[in-house]
Structure 1
């Protein structure tokens, strides 16, 4: 990854992360309060149970007194408390999990909205697999925090407090001893947190790398197979997978040592102490069996929630690491360029002026150097040149995919920076060399989810570019399903759908980025006819690889190493016998 994005792999401070996660819970405070009250009620009901048994043993069983009415009431109270606790636990758990799912839903929407607001420069340098991992795997880990961790923590902490209250009620001296256990357990948790945070951060990083490699390999599978690189790709994938495996293994070893085994050791030591205390005390004074039973019962109940909390610590650590990575991405400040200044200028004619424009992607090497040209309304400007000459960079700046650094661009006499994105996107239509089709159907790809476009508008746009000819022959016509990236269509068919998508907006300015570079012979005539229709009465910029397609352009710019080295019509440039004439002659030879 590019060095300036390296910080995105580093999670945030856990205290800050936890605070931000809790901020998502504020809007659900009513449900959380109700759930907490039910939790308190259920905890109190469960804690009263051993006291009722202690009363039965010491007041009735030991003296062998069995008054029917009192015992029935005692038994009914015990049953009611347990049934009530079960009911309250069910409702509070349901409320906690419902709130948790709603919070995760909001978090995923927020991070996806953030990703969509980032500039294209970010996507040029950050692997797609890593982003997918943030939005899916990391948020899934955060979901586990809300669903299985926080509810368990709250419930068991409340339960522990209740146990201490009951212990002090039965025997204050022993209860004070049990307080000594708290620092031991907290120390164990801090020790676990210290080491596990390193391992889980490593695991999350390697999982992102795995996703990135999977995404890259699947997208480039044809290249991998044609160059017989399967073994190398598998070897590299195995290496990353092994790193991920080793991080997991270290966390498993840590869990096996510091979670339940360590707590079980402390609990056994505490039980030995309690039984020894009652045993020694019995030599000098009477020990009530009910109190002994209740205390041992509470001690057992004390360590069960501790064990549950410790078992959830691993999930908590993973969730905190993942949440930190999510918030790092959400805090990343690399927005797409936006409007500067006030007002809402409108593009009416489509006149374009580039004035001494220079640009660099990396801040070091210029890919455009003092580029200046003018296009008048309704004219067609063609841009040609070798790969890397700066052709696409001109388009990227005109569409404001990247911020303009030096020079100025004007549309209808107004600086590009003064237009809002909505106006630019509606008035400038773009067709790429490799058209991207979304999963859905043909109609949704032309409409591109713009509900303002009716079915009639969609069909009219298709007819305008002659895409209706093959669409109507498809099963279902405009409702014909489109798979991922439209792989079931030919290159020419995908391009015609992209043309229809662009023309459905009726743009004032049309940008064609090598739109005819990969067309097939079956649809070439339709595409050429579509291009003629599309260029009528609108300003057009066409990046061309096949020079024969731009012979009738009003002006041709010849780019070389970021500079305009020649410009003019096809005839004048041929007559000059410069770079354009050499390129044209070479293409004709083939």
Structure 2
């Protein structure tokens, strides 16, 4: 991970994190207010119960005075309070959770939208598994903050305030003694927060590493099994998993020490104080049994919410760390190149010109050096060269996935910077060597760019690229389900569907990135016919390994180490007897020997 991405793992201050979490709750403030009042009512109803018991003991049981009407009112009041408390607590819990789920829904949409807006340079260096972990695991932890922590904290804090109010009502002096316990509880919380922040940050990062390795292993399972690397990959996965386990275990030991055990010690101390007080008081004056019962009851009720708060501190800390990671990603600004200026030119012809363009992915080593060429409207330009010569980099710049280091790129006479990304992506069609299909059916993949496309329009696009025949032969035709990345289809079938998807937009400029390099000879004939249909009357730039497929290109550029080594037509380049001729002859020889065209190029490069 580079230095820029290290910023994503540095902790965000928890005060700032908590403030931003509250901002997400702000749109729901009215319903939160209703839930808060229900919470207050339910807590108050629950707290009045022991006082009614104290009244019964001291005013009726101890003097053996049992007026029926008064006792019935007292009993009905006690039962009513419990029923009312149960109803109000159920309602507030339901309301808090409903609000929490809506907040998390909005948060997940926001972070996914943010990731979609990041430039491709970000995805080149940041592991996909780490992103998945932030969007799923981390937001799930934040959900627990809203669902089980905030409502619980509010309820228990209000309960604690109510308990102290009731204690002061019963005995001011003894309540003041119990107040001494509050600073000790705060000290325990501060210590827990200090150590748990470090442990949970480490734990979250190890989980991201775990997801990244898992994602990489699943994507590359074919290679792992081909080279029999299962044991090595298992060992590496085991090491990452063990580091995650150690981070978890540290947090568990901290929880075991500073959560319930420490609070239980304070609870015992408080009980000793109360019993000692009433014991000493009994030596000089009679003890009110009802007050003793109520005080011990409140003391027990006081430490129960403290225990609940302490136990949820671990969830709170995990959620705050996760929320900080989510907000770090949302704040990260590595967007792709954007429009400059207020002009809004349209691509009507497809005339392309590169002027002295230089480009580097990492800012240190150039992959393109002073590249200049022009493709006029309706012409076909072919780019050839060894792997790493800069062919795909030219395409990346033309699609404005990356920004050039120097030079200018023009489309229809306007600087590429002046175009909106929407206009570029709509008017420039890109077909990759390894087409990406999404889970769904064939029709949904073709109408990917325009969900309003009719079935007839989908079928017309497929017919245009010669894909209709094979699609019709599928079990359910255009409704046939496509597996992840199109794994249920052959490479040629995936390519034809990607052709149909591209041509459904009727682009002015067509870019073909080695579109025939991974298909068999029989399918290649179908694809070549499709390419001929697609290239007609539109500007086309084709990257090709098979030089036989670009003989009829209007212009061919041979790239070598990021520079233009040769250029001209097929015949002109052969006549020069330079690099292109060597590549062509080696490919012809490779064909005769049964080697791939890529093997031929690599032989020449060697």
Taking structure 1 as the reference length, what is the TM-score of the superposition? 0.99
Alpha-carbon shift at residue 137 of structure 1 (Å):
0.3
* Residue of structure 1 equivalent to 2:182: 182
In 2, Cα distance between the equivalents of 1:450 and 1:101? 31
For the aligned residue pairs, the C-alpha RMSD in angstroms reads 0.7
Alpha-carbon shift at residue 114 of structure 1 (Å):
0.2
Equivalences for residues 175-574 of structure 1 within 5 A: 175-448=175-448, 450-574=450-574
SS of the aligned residue for 1:402 comes to coil
In 1, Cα distance between the equivalents of 2:573 and 2:407? 27
In 2, Cα distance between the equivalents of 1:77 and 1:294? 17
Q: Deviation string for 1:124-179 (max 9, x for gaps)?
A: 00000000000000000000000000010000000000001100000001111111
* Residue of structure 2 equivalent to 1:173: 173
Q: Is the 8 A contact 1:435 1:494 kept in 2?
A: yes
In 2, Cα distance between the equivalents of 1:507 and 1:81? 71
Alpha-carbon shift at residue 476 of structure 1 (Å):
1.3
In 2, Cα distance between the equivalents of 1:176 and 1:280? 17
SS of the aligned residue for 1:338 comes to coil
In 2, Cα distance between the equivalents of 1:362 and 1:326? 26
SS of the aligned residue for 2:512 comes to strand
Q: Deviation string for 1:314-344 (max 9, x for gaps)?
A: 0000000000000010000101211110121
* Residue of structure 2 equivalent to 1:6: 6
Q: Is the 8 A contact 1:410 1:416 kept in 2?
A: yes
SS of the aligned residue for 1:8 comes to coil
Q: Which 10-residue stretch deviates more, 347-356 or 1-10?
A: 1-10
Q: Is the 8 A contact 1:567 1:573 kept in 2?
A: yes
In 2, Cα distance between the equivalents of 1:252 and 1:92? 31
* Residue of structure 2 equivalent to 1:96: 96
Q: Is the 8 A contact 1:492 1:522 kept in 2?
A: no
Q: Deviation string for 1:381-401 (max 9, x for gaps)?
A: 000001111000000000000
Q: Is the 8 A contact 2:114 2:330 kept in 1?
A: yes
Q: Is the 8 A contact 1:163 1:298 kept in 2?
A: yes
In 2, Cα distance between the equivalents of 1:163 and 1:121? 57
Alpha-carbon shift at residue 520 of structure 1 (Å):
2.2
In 2, Cα distance between the equivalents of 1:317 and 1:483? 39
Q: Deviation string for 1:265-322 (max 9, x for gaps)?
A: 1001110111011011100011100000000000000000000000000000000000
In 1, Cα distance between the equivalents of 2:187 and 2:31? 33
* Residue of structure 2 equivalent to 1:146: 146
Unaligned runs of 5+ in 2: 591-606
In 1, Cα distance between the equivalents of 2:397 and 2:428? 12
Q: Is the 8 A contact 1:57 1:290 kept in 2?
A: yes
Q: Deviation string for 1:345-390 (max 9, x for gaps)?
A: 1100000000010000000001010000000000000000011110
SS of the aligned residue for 2:354 comes to strand
In 2, Cα distance between the equivalents of 1:87 and 1:209? 45
**Per the alignment, do residues 378 and 449 of structure 1 end up closer, same or farther by CA in structure 2, a change over 3 Å counting?**
closer
In 1, Cα distance between the equivalents of 2:363 and 2:336? 17
Question: Structure 1: which 4+ aligned runs deviate by more than 6 Å?
Answer: none
SS of the aligned residue for 1:512 comes to strand
* Residue of structure 2 equivalent to 1:54: 54
In 1, Cα distance between the equivalents of 2:506 and 2:404? 26
In 2, Cα distance between the equivalents of 1:130 and 1:181? 43
In 2, Cα distance between the equivalents of 1:225 and 1:38? 59
SS of the aligned residue for 1:25 comes to helix
Alpha-carbon shift at residue 449 of structure 1 (Å):
5.4
Q: Is the 8 A contact 1:446 1:458 kept in 2?
A: yes
Q: Is the 8 A contact 2:360 2:404 kept in 1?
A: no
Alpha-carbon shift at residue 450 of structure 1 (Å):
1.5
Q: Deviation string for 1:414-470 (max 9, x for gaps)?
A: 000000011101100000000000000000000015223211111000000010010
Q: Is the 8 A contact 1:442 1:482 kept in 2?
A: yes
SS of the aligned residue for 1:9 comes to coil
In 2, Cα distance between the equivalents of 1:295 and 1:192? 29
In 2, Cα distance between the equivalents of 1:425 and 1:453? 18
SS of the aligned residue for 1:438 comes to coil
In 2, Cα distance between the equivalents of 1:397 and 1:6? 26
In 1, Cα distance between the equivalents of 2:380 and 2:374? 11
In 2, Cα distance between the equivalents of 1:3 and 1:232? 29
